[in-house]
Structure 1
């Protein structure tokens, strides 16, 4: 179980219940059913308004918050859009098609303590040996230059990136489709990350696992990975007709005007080249070496290395 990180400088005594009510509101999709999106809400938050004021009418209908109180005992904290630790990049994310979550669930360190000029590293679950090596090099470089690595923690490129960044002493934020595999069981992927990294957090838009919604949630979480990051790097991916998570990642990133950098394949495998050519047509920037990929992402996102 992760340590329950408390940040009394950010939150007052009313925060746990207010956050739990907002989480219940979001999970029950009350806003979606009423035809609303979070884009206007995010704009109001950026202007300084509080969610309990903006959503006062909707929150009056929410009374049952016990699942969220129980989650807090497991080290999971609801992070509403107006919380100080909510990723600032997400507040300005969305152009009518992509919207930020009203609430994130977080385990591990507070996001404002662990997100430092974050860059996402994502890709195939089945990388070649060259792809694995490139991923490790990219993640280690990012960690050494002071960037938090944001990734989905799936097997393959995502997990290699998390492990390499952690070994290099860097911070890692994992974005999952849900945080609880059962009523009292933190996600295995979350445990994996906490075993790897001291400077780590995991976040999800949803608290509980829902097998019927897994595919939809996996696709939707990609907008959070791209949205909280300044840039996205793809060391290697494989072309797929369906259920291609990296495709969503690139499309979400480009829609949000995040630079997307893809590494030129170091293999002759056709599906790797097909994916590379597809993303190049979509607007991804091309790098020939891991060092170039990192420097290009920094330059395009106008970031300065701090490591």
Structure 2
């Protein structure tokens, strides 16, 4: 199941059954007195470790009496699940950034190496009850990231999460689902087929031992793992109280890139994203812009430009003369020259050039824009 020493493996599997994810008090115990001492104290029912009340210590002891690490490992093995310990060859070192909230260990279902995949991964998260726009953007971003060779990480939930996983899989790419329950379970039930497919083609990861069910607090704490595991987090749609914002803020605290996809200003499902964008999050609209942030130096998104118009091909001085012509009347060469900040002789020479191109025409001693030029140069809006 792991390259870690058998004794520490069993001790950490034991603790994964006793301690809730993200318990920083327990994390401090492990750091200060070590795994073996914490396990011994819990198994023996000895004196409470510091930082907990007698009631809470009693609750931990009750859990400890029911913990069966050998059985958990056997059940996991039967389901094709392994347990990865901190410091082991498959452990993603970036999770250590969580400090005392670092997972005790991770249950992993799937063949690839979690450590290798996490090195080049991006989280795509968002609303469960997303709009068609949100689902489209999640699929498009995930597919684009997969095509760029990045692993897409999300939470396996309905809405944006599911769309992101499907986008990556549909592009033949890699994806990781971080669950708030045992990885041998499928939650939500409607994603049974999707989670199974992810386990076959990618990775399903979680902190909770086999058979454990999700709770609201476990969903929230799961988000810190998504944030720490990846190089950056993209939020596609999120209301003001969305759990996706928890992931994004955790990413920001950890020094990861935080990104948001804008939506309509009137959409409540984009209000949380817009709040992030008013802070330190970066606006992104496609995978190339995400890769520009999280990738290596020089991986720049293509320059965004509108279509090239015929007037864009004119010399700058000629464009200034064209812009100096009034929209609805003829003008004398000296007036045009003043508007273009050039000499009258130069203005006349450029007006003849513009006439040959169909932009202007002579009207007695003056010059006037052609009808077609009024549309192309002014965008159909008169200018006196």
Please say which structure displays the higher CA radius of gyration.
2
Find the aligned partners of 1:54 and 1:148 in 2 and give their Cα distance.
Answer: 34
Work out whether residues 179 and 190 of structure 1, in 8 Å CA contact, stay in contact via their aligned partners in 2: no
Equivalent position of 1:108 in the other structure? 110
Q: 1:92 aligns with which of 94, 97, 104?
A: 97
Equivalent position of 2:57 in the other structure? none
Find the aligned partners of 2:143 and 2:282 in 1 and give their Cα distance.
Answer: 21
Counting matched residue pairs gives 272
C-alpha deviation, 1:146, in angstroms: 1.0
Find the aligned partners of 1:156 and 1:112 in 2 and give their Cα distance.
Answer: 27
Find the aligned partners of 1:123 and 1:248 in 2 and give their Cα distance.
Answer: 11
Which deviations, in whole Å up to 9, do the C-alpha atoms of 1:146-166 show, x marking residues without a partner?
111110011111111101101
SS state at 1:179 partner: coil
Tell me whether 1:58 sits opposite 2:54 in the alignment.
Answer: no
Q: 1:278 aligns with which of 271, 275, 278?
A: 275
C-alpha deviation, 1:28, in angstroms: 1.0
Which deviations, in whole Å up to 9, do the C-alpha atoms of 1:272-304 show, x marking residues without a partner?
3421232124421112x21454234325x8696
Find the aligned partners of 2:20 and 2:292 in 1 and give their Cα distance.
Answer: 41
Which deviations, in whole Å up to 9, do the C-alpha atoms of 1:90-127 show, x marking residues without a partner?
12234xxx721011111112313543511100001122
Equivalent position of 1:235 in the other structure? 236
Q: Which of the pair has the greater relative contact order for Cα pairs under 8 Å at 6+ separation?
A: 1
Find the aligned partners of 2:163 and 2:21 in 1 and give their Cα distance.
Answer: 37
CA distance 1:279–1:39, shift in 2 (3 Å) = farther
Equivalent position of 2:248 in the other structure? 250
Equivalent position of 1:173 in the other structure? 176
Give the unaligned 5+ runs of structure 1.
1-5, 45-52
Tell me whether 1:29 sits opposite 2:32 in the alignment.
Answer: no
CA distance 1:105–1:34, shift in 2 (3 Å) = closer
Find the aligned partners of 1:120 and 1:277 in 2 and give their Cα distance.
Answer: 18
Find the aligned partners of 1:131 and 1:39 in 2 and give their Cα distance.
Answer: 42
C-alpha deviation, 1:32, in angstroms: 8.8
Which deviations, in whole Å up to 9, do the C-alpha atoms of 1:178-209 show, x marking residues without a partner?
1257xxx5655575233257541111111245
Scaled by the length of structure 2, the TM-score of the pair is 0.62
Equivalent position of 1:298 in the other structure? 294
Q: 2:136 aligns with which of 118, 133, 136?
A: 133
C-alpha deviation, 1:67, in angstroms: 2.4
Equivalent position of 1:48 in the other structure? none
Find the aligned partners of 1:167 and 1:59 in 2 and give their Cα distance.
Answer: 44
Work out whether residues 260 and 297 of structure 1, in 8 Å CA contact, stay in contact via their aligned partners in 2: no
Which deviations, in whole Å up to 9, do the C-alpha atoms of 1:46-81 show, x marking residues without a partner?
xxxxxxx94222344478322232222211211111
C-alpha deviation, 1:40, in angstroms: 7.6
C-alpha deviation, 1:258, in angstroms: 0.8
Find the aligned partners of 2:192 and 2:293 in 1 and give their Cα distance.
Answer: 27
Scaled by the length of structure 1, the TM-score of the pair is 0.76
CA distance 1:208–1:73, shift in 2 (3 Å) = closer
Work out whether residues 95 and 225 of structure 2, in 8 Å CA contact, stay in contact via their aligned partners in 1: yes
CA distance 1:168–1:178, shift in 2 (3 Å) = same
Equivalent position of 1:195 in the other structure? 197
SS state at 2:246 partner: helix
Work out whether residues 85 and 112 of structure 1, in 8 Å CA contact, stay in contact via their aligned partners in 2: yes
Find the aligned partners of 1:151 and 1:31 in 2 and give their Cα distance.
Answer: 18
Work out whether residues 177 and 198 of structure 2, in 8 Å CA contact, stay in contact via their aligned partners in 1: no
Give the unaligned 5+ runs of structure 2.
44-63, 301-384
